[in-house]
């Protein structure tokens, strides 16, 4: 069964500092990868996704992620965070076609002023 691992449940970081949120996936076949963000009291919204092509994917709000097949990773990065980036971030994969999206347990990013 496919699985997504987000090792860090919480990541505190100072404002304007860089951040990396880690994600490892399990699928050994072709895989689609996603990062979603959930702001307080809101639903999840898509930050970025990797389907194929360039391994560096740029998303909204200055975030980017790099697909690394040899390390089965899809880490999310931002060079300089803002207070407004405080949220929970979920990594997800889909390797089963229709509807089989597997989510990680989420990482809470806390930006400290």
Partner 1 sequence: EADIYQTPRYLVIGTGKKITLECSQTMGHDKMYWYQQDPGMELHLIHYSYGVNSTEKGDLSSESTVSRIRTEHFPLTLESARPSHTSQYLCASSAGLPGGEKLFFGSGTQLSVL
Residues 6+ apart with CB under 8 A from 2: 25, 26, 27, 31, 93, 95, 96, 100, 102
Half-sphere exposure of 43 (CA within 13 A, CB side): 2
Least distance to partner 1 from the beta carbon of 43, Å? 3
Stretch that binds partner 1, among 14-22, 53-61, 73-81, 92-100 (CB under 8 A): 92-100
**Among 46, 56, 83, 112, interactor with partner 1 by CB under 8 A:** 46
**Among 8, 20, 49, 77, interactor with partner 1 by CB under 8 A:** 49
36 binds partner 1 (CB under 8 A): yes
Stretch that binds partner 1, among 11-19, 44-52, 55-63, 64-72 (CB under 8 A): 44-52
Residues that bind partner 1 (CB under 8 A): 4, 9, 32, 36, 41-46, 49, 51, 90, 94-99, 101-106
């Amino acid at each position: 069964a496919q699985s997504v691992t987000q090792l860090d449940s919480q990541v505190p970081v100072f404002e304007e500092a860089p951040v990396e949120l880690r994600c490892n996936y399990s699928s050994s076949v072709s895989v689609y990868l996603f990062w979603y963000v959930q702001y307080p009291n809101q639903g999840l919204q898509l930050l970025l996704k990797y389907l194929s092509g360039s391994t560096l994917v740029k998303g909204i709000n200055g975030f980017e992620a790099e697909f690394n097949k040899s390390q089965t990773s899809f880490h999310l990065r931002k060079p300089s965070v803002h207070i407004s980036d405080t949220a929970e971030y979920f990594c997800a994969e889909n390797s089963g076609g229709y509807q089989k999206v597997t989510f990680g347990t989420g990482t809470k990013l806390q930006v400290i002023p």
